């Protein structure tokens, strides 16, 4: 990958390898699942909001499906499918914890560098203290900082690479690159290392090699970027003692944010574009009135969640949705099913940007609601709006296969071939 005339040039074969839901590491989250899961999830919900078993097994998928909370062998597994049960579980972390350590009375070991030793797995006051360090960088008023610093230049640089061609494949060549280059750039990671970062999340030693010189440089001379926010942040312990983050804490934070920042928004952008491009009249409505684009994005978050399941660990014997859950069991929250609960939305299987606005589970809820949701919205709006501005008569390529939405625990579009001009 190199920079040529301001436009990011990526190794497209490597991008396809890392981001194609059907292959590589993504396949282990159910990338081989091509069916529509929603009819089965409706059936399950209609017979009760909570069922014993794992989402993929209850859905009828018997392929590899590793994900948050899976496989966790030796524990009983339950899954919930209604909006209310998913929302309740996320809003009561004292009963439904974010990691098994809480159930077992152990604390997260922050000296061990891993995404699972970060705030993702914390609950209670400790989670609030750690989240508060970076929350100010992700609030709505800071969205323009992200757009000006990283998003806008990346978006237009990518369009520059294909605008003269009259055709493009948007999912991998456009959608996948935007959040990846945005989040890595915000950490001061050179463009030519961005794809390596994407491929090395499970290799903390290599991630440290990439991050260590950047952290050292920012400790010596902070800049206006996210890694400097972490370097300069002060954490207050329970006794009120304040200290800066250790290098291991920064590395775990970075791995979490780099993974989350590059792993979901590209899929949501592809899903939103697929939903719009399937209806040419809708594309023209949104092109003429950009307030409708915000509605289109929010509806895509409801209609097709990119990561439709997350898990919680049950800390005490309890009952949810009329089902007894024993302490130590794992509860899988099927957010995709929750987002199409007919008790909350009429005609839930339809993509309808004109439906009355209601919060969905697209970014989750409760204390662990997605930290980067406002940045994600900024990336989605900026990226799609730029396509509408610069690509007249944007439409699906009639001579290529239409995009499909596939996957189980990671859902997204296949190729999105378009023509324009």
Residue 19 lies in a domain: no
Q: 49 with 85: CB under 8 angstroms?
A: yes
d(CA 385, CA 380): 8
Strand bridging mode 330-334 / 309-314:
antiparallel
**DSSP letter assigned to residue 151:** I
List Cα–Cα distances, 265 to 34, 75, 100, 268, 403, in angstroms.
21, 32, 27, 5, 17
Q: Is the pLDDT of residue 238 over 80?
A: no
Per-residue confidence (pLDDT) for residue 69, from 0 to 100 = 93
- Burial class for 56, CB neighbours closer than 10 Å (0-12, 13-18, 19+): buried
In DSSP notation, 64-124 reads ----TT---TTS-EEEE-SHHHHHHHHH-TTTEESSHHHHTT----TTS-SGGGSGGG--H
* Tokens encoding 153: 């230049």
**pLDDT more than 70, % of the chain:** 95
Per-residue confidence (pLDDT) for residue 123, from 0 to 100 = 87
Residue 370 lies in a domain: yes
Per-residue confidence (pLDDT) for residue 5, from 0 to 100 = 40
Close Cβ partners of 366 (under 8 Å, ≥ 6 residues apart): 87, 90, 91, 92, 93
**What's the structural domain count of the chain?**
1
Residue 20 lies in a domain: no
What is the number of alpha carbons within 13 Å of residue 414 lying toward its C-beta? 14
Per-residue confidence (pLDDT) for residue 402, from 0 to 100 = 95
**DSSP letter assigned to residue 403:** P
pLDDT band at 345 (very low <50, low <70, confident <90, very high): very high
The residue ranking higher by pLDDT, 31 or 419, is 419
Mean pLDDT of the chain: 91
Our separate counts of H helices and E strands in the chain read 19, 16
**What CATH number is given to the structural domain containing 281?**
1.10.630.10
Residue 13 lies in a domain: no
Q: Which residues pair with 78 in a beta bridge?
A: 52, 331
List Cα–Cα distances, 196 to 77, 212, 254, 276, 420, in angstroms.
35, 15, 14, 32, 32
d(CA 178, CA 151): 7
Average pLDDT over residues 299-322: 97
Map tokens 């989670």 to a residue.
127
Residue pLDDT, tens place only, 128-165: 888 888 888 898 999 999 999 999 999 999 999 999 99
Per-residue confidence (pLDDT) for residue 9, from 0 to 100 = 65
Residue pLDDT, tens place only, 69-88: 999 999 999 999 999 999 99
Close Cβ partners of 329 (under 8 Å, ≥ 6 residues apart): 75, 76, 77, 78, 313, 314
* Kind plus residue range of the DSSP H or E element containing 405: strand 405-406
pLDDT band at 115 (very low <50, low <70, confident <90, very high): low
Residue 113 lies in a domain: yes
Residue 318 lies in a domain: yes
Judged by DSSP in three states, 324 sits in: strand
Q: Is the pLDDT of residue 110 over 80?
A: no
pLDDT band at 114 (very low <50, low <70, confident <90, very high): low
Q: Is the pLDDT of residue 4 over 90?
A: no
Residue 189 lies in a domain: yes
* Tokens encoding 287: 């092109």
* Tokens encoding 6: 């301001």
Q: Is the pLDDT of residue 121 over 90?
A: no
Average pLDDT over residues 55-71: 92
List Cα–Cα distances, 406 to 32, 33, 409, in angstroms.
8, 6, 10
d(CA 75, CA 259): 27
Other C-beta atoms lying within 10 Å of the C-beta of residue 111: 10
d(CA 346, CA 348): 5
Residue 17 lies in a domain: no
Residue pLDDT, tens place only, 292-305: 999 999 999 999 99
**DSSP letter assigned to residue 288:** H
* Tokens encoding 60: 């009828």
Q: Is the pLDDT of residue 288 over 80?
A: yes
Angle between helices 291-303 and 373-390 (to 10 degrees): 120
């Amino acid at each position: 990958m190199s920079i040529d005339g301001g436009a990011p040039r990526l190794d497209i074969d490597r991008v396809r390898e890392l981001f194609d839901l059907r292959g590589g590491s993504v396949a282990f989250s159910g990338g081989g699942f091509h069916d529509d899961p929603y009819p089965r999830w409706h059936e399950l919900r209609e017979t009760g909001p909570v069922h014993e078993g794992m989402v993929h097994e209850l859905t009828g998928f018997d392929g590899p499906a590793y994900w948050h909370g899976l496989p966790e062998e030796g524990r009983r597994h339950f899954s919930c499918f209604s909006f209310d049960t998913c929302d309740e579980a996320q809003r009561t972390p004292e009963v439904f914890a974010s990691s098994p350590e809480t159930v077992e009375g152990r604390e997260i070991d922050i000296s061990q560098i891993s995404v699972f030793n970060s705030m993702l797995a914390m609950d209670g006051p400790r989670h609030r203290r750690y989240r508060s360090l970076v929350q100010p960088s992700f609030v709505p008023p800071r969205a323009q900082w992200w757009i000006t610093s990283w998003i806008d230049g990346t978006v237009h640089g990518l369009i520059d690479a294909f605008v003269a061609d009259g055709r493009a494949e948007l999912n991998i060549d456009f959608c996948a690159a935007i959040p990846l280059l945005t989040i890595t750039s915000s950490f001061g990671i050179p463009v030519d290392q961005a794809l390596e970062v994407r491929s090395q999340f499970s290799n903390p030693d290599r991630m440290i090699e990439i991050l260590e010189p950047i952290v050292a440089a920012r400790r010596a001379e902070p800049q206006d970027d996210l890694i400097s926010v972490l370097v300069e942040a002060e954490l207050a312990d329970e006794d009120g003692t304040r200290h800066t983050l250790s290098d291991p804490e920064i590395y775990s934070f970075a791995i979490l944010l780099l993974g989350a920042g590059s792993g979901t928004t590209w899929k949501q952008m592809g899903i939103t574009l697929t939903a719009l491009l399937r209806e040419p009249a809708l594309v023209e409505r949104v092109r003429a009135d950009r307030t409708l684009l915000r509605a289109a994005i929010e509806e895509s978050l409801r209609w097709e969640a990119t990561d439709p399941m997350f898990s919680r660990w049950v800390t005490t014997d309890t009952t949810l949705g009329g089902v007894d859950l024993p302490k130590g069991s794992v509860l899988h929250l099927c957010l995709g099913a929750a987002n199409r609960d007919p008790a909350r939305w009429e005609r839930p299987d339809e993509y309808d940007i004109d439906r009355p606005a209601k919060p969905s589970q697209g970014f989750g809820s409760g204390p662990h609601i997605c930290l980067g949701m406002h940045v994600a919205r900024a990336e989605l709006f900026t990226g799609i709006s730029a396509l509408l501005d610069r690509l007249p008569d944007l439409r699906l390529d009639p001579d290529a296969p239409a995009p499909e939405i596939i996957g189980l625990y990671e859902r997204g579009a296949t190729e999105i071939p378009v023509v324009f001009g």
